[in-house]
A = this chain, B = another copy of it.
Amino acid sequence: MVAEVKEFVRPEDIEAIMAGLGTRARAAARVLANVPGDRKNAALSAMAGALRARTDEILDANARDMRAAEARGTAGSFLDRLKLDPTRIEAMAKGVEDIAALADPVGSVIAEWDRPNGLHIERVRTPLGVIGVIFESRPNVTADAGALCLKAGNAVILRPGSESALSSRAIHACLVEGLEAAGLPGDAIQIVPTTDRAAVGEMLKGLDGNIDVIVPRGGRSLVERVQTEARVPVFAHLEGICHVYVHAPADLEMAKAIVVNAKMRRTGICGAAETLLIDRELVETHLKPIVGALIDSGCEVRGDDTAQAVDDRVITATDADFGKEFLDAIIAVKVVDGLDAAIAHIGTYGSSHTEAIVTDDQAAADTFMARVDSAILLHNASTQFADGGEFGMGAEIGIATGRMHARGPVGVEQLTSFKYRVRGTGQTRP
- Residues of chain A whose beta carbon lies under 8 Å from any beta carbon of chain B: 30, 33-34, 107, 113, 115, 119, 121, 126, 128-129, 212-213, 233, 251, 254, 257-258, 260-262, 265, 365, 369-371, 373-382, 384-385, 390-392, 403-405, 407-408, 417-429
- Report whether B417 and A404 are in contact in the complex, using a CB–CB cutoff of 8 Å: yes
- Report whether A422 and B378 are in contact in the complex, using a CB–CB cutoff of 8 Å: yes
Alpha-carbon separation in the docked complex, A30 to B347 (Å): 10
If A212-B403, A381-B426 are given as contacts, then 8 extra A-B residue pairs at C-beta distance below 8 Å, sorted by A number, are A121-B391, A121-B392, A254-B426, A380-B426, A381-B424, A381-B428, A385-B427, A408-B420
Closest B-chain residue to A380, C-beta based? Answer: B424
Q: Which B residues are CB-close (under 8 A) to A423?
A: 365, 378-381
Which listed residue (B213, B373, B377, B420) contacts A377, Cβ 8 A?
B420
Q: Which B residues are CB-close (under 8 A) to A265?
A: 428-429
Which of A129, A212, A382 is the most central at the interface, judged by chain B CB atoms within 10 Å of its CB? A382
17 A-B residue pairs with CB within 8 Å: A33-B371, A34-B370, A115-B390, A212-B403, A257-B428, A258-B426, A258-B428, A376-B420, A377-B421, A377-B422, A380-B424, A381-B427, A382-B427, A382-B429, A404-B417, A408-B419, A408-B420
Closest B-chain residue to A113, C-beta based? Answer: B392
- Report whether A115 and B392 are in contact in the complex, using a CB–CB cutoff of 8 Å: yes
Which listed residue (B233, B251, B262, B427) contacts A404, Cβ 8 A?
B233
Copy total for this chain: 2
Q: Which B residues are CB-close (under 8 A) to A119?
A: 381, 385
CB distance from A342 to the nearest CB of B (A): 15
Q: Which B residues are CB-close (under 8 A) to A373?
A: 30, 33, 126, 419
CB distance from A192 to the nearest CB of B (A): 23
Q: Which B residues are CB-close (under 8 A) to A212?
A: 403-404
Alpha-carbon separation in the docked complex, A254 to B428 (Å): 9
Alpha-carbon separation in the docked complex, A212 to B405 (Å): 12
CB distance from A256 to the nearest CB of B (A): 10
Alpha-carbon separation in the docked complex, A374 to B365 (Å): 43
Alpha-carbon separation in the docked complex, A261 to B430 (Å): 9
Which listed residue (B374, B378, B391) contacts A424, Cβ 8 A?
B378
The 8 A-B pairs at the shortest CB distance, nearest first, are namely A381-B424, A261-B428, A403-B417, A254-B426, A384-B429, A405-B405, A378-B422, A381-B427
- Report whether B113 and A381 are in contact in the complex, using a CB–CB cutoff of 8 Å: no
Which of A129, A385, A422, A428 is the most central at the interface, judged by chain B CB atoms within 10 Å of its CB? A422
Which listed residue (B377, B392, B403, B426) contacts A251, Cβ 8 A?
B426
CB distance from A400 to the nearest CB of B (A): 10
CB distance from A90 to the nearest CB of B (A): 20
- Report whether B417 and A261 are in contact in the complex, using a CB–CB cutoff of 8 Å: no
Alpha-carbon separation in the docked complex, A373 to B425 (Å): 22
Alpha-carbon separation in the docked complex, A192 to B379 (Å): 42
